[in-house]
């Protein structure tokens, strides 16, 4: 259908040329980390035997990476569940700009069907955060990464990089979907399933020590093996001006596996040859064989906030929900990157990390006595899978009373699990967007009270934030 058919909806097919900020974390397997230590002089597992090396001693974190011209192709708009979505496939623009398309990917590349998205088969639409497939009939578009290659923002000799699309021709195609939240057009939410090559320069000496990739099969196909699922909400326009995040929410709830690429793996501009798997059946060689060697713990990239290193409340006409007033792009991105929950790795590869992400992180908690009541306020730094909040109120335990919790300063509390809120205070946030909440306790008399914020996930799991207890004295 013609884009003119969609009143106040998404624009027609085109290519968004946007800026990207990124960082990535890799946790290597114990065996491979020790191999890197002994053969590549990499700073992993120093002083540890293979079986004892914790995850914290074999983690690699890149510096901030940047690309000024990430290219993402879009299809024309269609409806979720219609013939284009499920039978014919949406044609993705390969050459053009935000407002027009000069050429599409060929039919030999295959148009993109809803069935090509791995997230749907793995249950992402049931996790409540942040991308949720809406009711059939909503307006949406399909997308594909045309070109993506992020390199160190500050330059220098380092060769750390992440590549996708035409910059990683041995990989499967990186596809996505943008779906309207209200039925037609913006605001919208989106996701990508990314297949990337990761160049790692362990010693930052200007040479790529190894190339890794994140799927169990290679070749420039639609379907890969283990995608990075990168999601965002609150898209307001094209090109998008949001922070996309990846937290490793795969089918078995662990971070996507990383494989070691062949040394002659095709690079940008090269013929995509020698891309087949060449695994060693004994899983003991690491000098070129494609083997599982680790996991991508966190991979996230901010897209198109505007001019770097400027301090302004708006950027290119957009005010991203994830950024605070006065934050520049780098500060906003860095804060969000640090606040994301760790994507877990298998328990047998033990480490000091949880097997599931922390659902809610509190940025601040306030309690203030005023007019004989207590005013409470709290701001979240992250809300993943959160259904809402309750508030618990406690008091100091008197002699002989049961002690339910002892503060770090030695004060003993009782009635810690006495809820003030009969009804759940519903969540107003999604994913890593900070949201401020308030509540007034009008049932106090004189004395000192202790308050804790409690979050409830969609499965009914209760998590009290006892590390952020606040005390208030009412006269």
Structural domains in the chain plus CATH codes: 3-339 (no CATH), 360-474 (2.60.40.10)
Collect all residues with Cβ–Cβ distance below 8 Å to 376 and sequence separation of at least 6. Answer: 365, 366, 367, 391, 438, 439, 440, 441, 451, 470
Count of residues in the chain? 475
> Higher-confidence residue: 123 or 156?
156
Cα distances from 27 to residues 3, 253, 256, 345, 389, in angstroms, run 45, 15, 11, 8, 33
C-alpha span between 347 and 350 (Å, rounded): 5
Asked whether the beta carbons of 220 and 169 are under 8 A apart, the reply is yes
Q: Is the pLDDT of residue 317 over 70?
A: no
Q: Are strands 210-213 and 257-260 parallel, antiparallel or unpaired?
A: antiparallel
Stretch 62-78: mean pLDDT, rounded? 93
Stretch 404-431: mean pLDDT, rounded? 81
**pLDDT interval class at 433 (50, 70, 90):** low
Residue 429's pLDDT is: 62
Residue 365's pLDDT is: 92
Residue 363's pLDDT is: 83
Sheet holding 360-370, edge to edge: 360-370, 373-383, 436-441
43-50, long-range: CB < 8 A, 24+ apart: 43/202
Residue 430's pLDDT is: 53
Which pLDDT tens digit goes with each residue over 105-115?
A: 988 888 999 88
The phi, psi pair for 98, rounded to 5°, reads -65, -30
Q: Is the pLDDT of residue 66 over 80?
A: yes
pTM as predicted:
0.68
pLDDT over 70 percentage in the chain: 75
Report angle CA 116, 120, 121 to the nearest 5 degrees. Answer: 85
C-alpha span between 173 and 145 (Å, rounded): 7
Q: Would you state the structure tokens that stand for residue 268, as one six-digit string?
A: 């940008």
Q: Are strands 242-244 and 425-426 parallel, antiparallel or unpaired?
A: unpaired
C-alpha span between 105 and 73 (Å, rounded): 9
C-alpha span between 132 and 116 (Å, rounded): 17
Residue 94's pLDDT is: 96
Check residue 183 and give left, alpha or beta (phi > 0: left; psi -120 to 50: alpha): left
Q: Is the pLDDT of residue 316 over 60?
A: no
Asked whether the beta carbons of 51 and 31 are under 8 A apart, the reply is no
Q: Is the pLDDT of residue 315 over 50?
A: no
Which pLDDT tens digit goes with each residue over 336-389?
A: 777 666 667 776 775 433 334 456 888 889 999 988 899 999 988 777 777 889
Asked whether the beta carbons of 456 and 256 are under 8 A apart, the reply is no
Helix, strand, or coil here: 186? coil
**37-46, 144-153, 202-211, 248-257: range with lowest mean pLDDT:** 248-257
CB atoms within 10 A of CB 121: 10
Residue 418's pLDDT is: 73
Q: What is the DSSP letter of 227?
A: -
Q: Would you state the structure tokens that stand for residue 183, as one six-digit string?
A: 């039925």
Asked whether the beta carbons of 366 and 376 are under 8 A apart, the reply is yes
| DSSP H/E element including 274 | none
**pLDDT interval class at 70 (50, 70, 90):** very high
Q: Is the pLDDT of residue 458 over 90?
A: no
Report angle CA 286, 288, 293 to the nearest 5 degrees. Answer: 45
Residue 1's pLDDT is: 35
Residue 265's pLDDT is: 56
Residue 311's pLDDT is: 37
Residue 204's pLDDT is: 82
Residue 118's pLDDT is: 67
**pLDDT interval class at 419 (50, 70, 90):** confident
Stretch 411-439: mean pLDDT, rounded? 79
Which pLDDT tens digit goes with each residue over 165-198?
A: 988 887 888 999 999 998 999 989 888 888 898 9
Residue 15's pLDDT is: 97
Helix, strand, or coil here: 190? strand
Residue 332: CA count within 13 A, CB half-sphere:
33
**pLDDT interval class at 119 (50, 70, 90):** low
Residue 284's pLDDT is: 46
Residue 8's pLDDT is: 53
Q: Is the pLDDT of residue 45 over 80?
A: yes
Q: Is the pLDDT of residue 50 over 90?
A: no
Q: Are strands 14-28 and 292-303 parallel, antiparallel or unpaired?
A: antiparallel
Q: Would you state the structure tokens that stand for residue 298, as one six-digit string?
A: 């966190």
**Torsion angle of C-alpha atoms 393, 398, 401, 403, degrees rounded to 10:** 60
Asked whether the beta carbons of 451 and 374 are under 8 A apart, the reply is yes
For the ranges 92-96, 211-215, 217-221, 327-331, the maximum mean pLDDT occurs at 92-96
Which pLDDT tens digit goes with each residue over 261-307?
A: 765 455 555 555 556 544 443 444 554 445 788 888 777 776 655 44
Q: Is the pLDDT of residue 152 over 60?
A: yes
Average pLDDT, the chain: 78
Q: What is the DSSP letter of 330?
A: H
**Torsion angle of C-alpha atoms 72, 135, 227, 76, degrees rounded to 10:** -20
* Token pair 């990535």: residue: 24
**1-5, 47-51, 198-202, 444-448: range with lowest mean pLDDT:** 1-5
Residue of 300, 333, 304 whose CA lies nearest to 241: 304
Q: Helices (DSSP H) in 313-434: which residue ranges? A: 329-339
C-alpha span between 380 and 203 (Å, rounded): 37
Collect all residues with Cβ–Cβ distance below 8 Å to 213 and sequence separation of at least 6. Answer: 168, 170, 171, 195, 196, 197, 198, 258, 259, 261, 265
């Amino acid at each position: 259908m013609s884009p003119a058919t969609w009143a106040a909806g998404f624009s027609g097919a085109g290519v968004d040329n946007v800026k990207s900020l990124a960082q990535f974390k890799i946790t290597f397997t114990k065996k491979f980390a020790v191999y890197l230590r002994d053969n590549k002089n990499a700073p992993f597992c120093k002083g540890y035997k293979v079986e004892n090396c914790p995850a914290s001693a074999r983690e690699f974190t890149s510096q901030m990476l940047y690309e000024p011209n990430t290219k993402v192709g879009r299809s024309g708009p269609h409806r979720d569940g219609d013939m284009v979505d499920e039978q014919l496939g949406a044609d993705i623009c390969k050459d053009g700009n935000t407002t027009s398309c000069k050429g599409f990917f060929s039919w030999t590349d295959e148009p993109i069907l809803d069935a090509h998205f791995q997230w749907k088969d793995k249950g992402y639409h049931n996790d409540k955060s942040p991308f949720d497939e809406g009711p059939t009939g909503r307006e949406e578009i399909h997308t594909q990464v045309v070109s993506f290659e992020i390199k160190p923002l500050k330059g220098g000799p380092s060769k750390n990089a992440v590549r996708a699309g035409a910059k990683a021709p041995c990989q499967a195609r990186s596809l996505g979907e943008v779906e309207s939240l209200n039925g037609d057009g913006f605001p919208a939410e989106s996701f990508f399933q990314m297949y990337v090559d990761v160049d790692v320069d362990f010693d930052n000496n200007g040479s790529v020590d190894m190339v890794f990739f994140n799927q169990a099969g290679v070749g420039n196909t639609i379907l890969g093996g283990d995608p990075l699922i990168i999601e965002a909400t609150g898209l307001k326009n094209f090109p998008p001006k949001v922070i996309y995040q990846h937290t490793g929410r795969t089918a078995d709830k662990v971070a996507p596996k990383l494989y070691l690429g062949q040394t002659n793996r095709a690079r940008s501009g090269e013929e995509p040859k020698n891309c087949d798997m060449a695994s060693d059946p004994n899983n003991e060689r690491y000098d070129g064989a494609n083997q599982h060697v680790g996991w991508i713990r966190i991979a996230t990239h901010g897209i198109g906030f505007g001019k770097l290193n400027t301090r302004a409340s708006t950027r290119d006409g957009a005010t991203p929900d994830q950024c605070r007033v006065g934050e520049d792009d780098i500060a906003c991105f860095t804060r969000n990157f640090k606040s994301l929950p760790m994507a877990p790795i298998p328990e047998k590869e033990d480490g000091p990390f949880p097997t599931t992400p922390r659902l809610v992180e509190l940025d601040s908690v306030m309690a203030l006595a005023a007019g004989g009541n207590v005013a409470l306020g709290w701001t979240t730094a992250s809300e993943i899978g959160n259904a809402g909040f309750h508030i618990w109120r406690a008091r100091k335990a008197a002699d002989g009373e049961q002690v339910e919790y002892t503060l770090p300063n030695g004060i003993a509390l009782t009635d810690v699990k006495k809820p003030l809120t009969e009804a759940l205070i519903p969540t107003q946030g999604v994913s890593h967007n900070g949201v401020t909440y308030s509540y007034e306790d009008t049932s106090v008399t004189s004395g000192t009270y202790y308050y804790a914020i409690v979050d409830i996930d969609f499965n009914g799991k209760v998590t009290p934030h006892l590390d952020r207890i606040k005390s208030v004295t009412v006269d």
